[in-house]
Homo-oligomer: A and B are copies of this chain.
């Protein structure tokens, strides 16, 4: 094997990590799944050659996709995770004792199987009885959803290429809005405001068609291109600045980056995005 594993981002930028060994390689119905052992960041997952997560870097992403929603939604009993097949988002969500049920809907069984086996430190909550893993299409799951409303929906999916394209469409966001309780909170990863600026703005625009409050937030993730990464918080009624401080300080005892100030600071919108949003 090559000494380096690399992501080629749209033929423009490559991010390569020195690699000691390949742990897993498989081709599922949906994509190529690889887990490699890197020098700098431990074991890491690539899907179709794009870095998804790495042991030494995953906490920023998983804490930031989870805790802003989980520390602000009034109720957090019922949580839906779409994607998230590495288990890291579920682990962070389940650290909140108020959470009673997590539906994790991942399209690709091979991702879950490979991550359970080779990335156990990321998915350390697979055995939690509150977690229900469904190998299914998340877009169809929310479209046909008839169950009790979710309090929180987190979309932890890849870039909009192939089957994940629908995770960035208005239809999908509308289904999510309907599957949420009136005081529910929706968060999706929403790409880099620098290297994927147009896509980031498109996600914000589509979400604004479905939710009354739509606020992007930002933090740098080592293995993703573009310096800053973004997630977007959307709700009909909940404000991400009204933090439940008891929950935030409890969770911050063991987080890598998340704390109340990091939460607040992440919602500072860079001027070039703010100017578009204020138009």
* A residues lining the B interface (CB < 8 Å): 4, 6, 11-18, 38-40, 57, 60, 194-195, 218-229, 252, 255-259, 261-272, 274
Q: CB distance A222 to B222 under 8 Å?
A: no
Least CB separation from A228: chain B residue: B220
Least CB separation from A61: chain B residue: B227
Which residues of B are found within 8 Å of A228, using beta-carbon distances?
A: 219-220
Which residues of B are found within 8 Å of A195, using beta-carbon distances?
A: 40, 222
Q: A39-B12, A194-B222 are in contact. Are A257 and B271 (CB under 8 A)?
A: yes
Which residues of B are found within 8 Å of A40, using beta-carbon distances?
A: 12-13, 195
Q: CB distance B265 to A267 under 8 Å?
A: yes
Q: CB distance A15 to B13 under 8 Å?
A: yes
**Which one, B223, B256, B267, contacts A270 given CB within 8 A?**
B256
Q: CB distance B14 to A6 under 8 Å?
A: yes
Which residues of B are found within 8 Å of A227, using beta-carbon distances?
A: 57, 60, 219-224, 227, 229
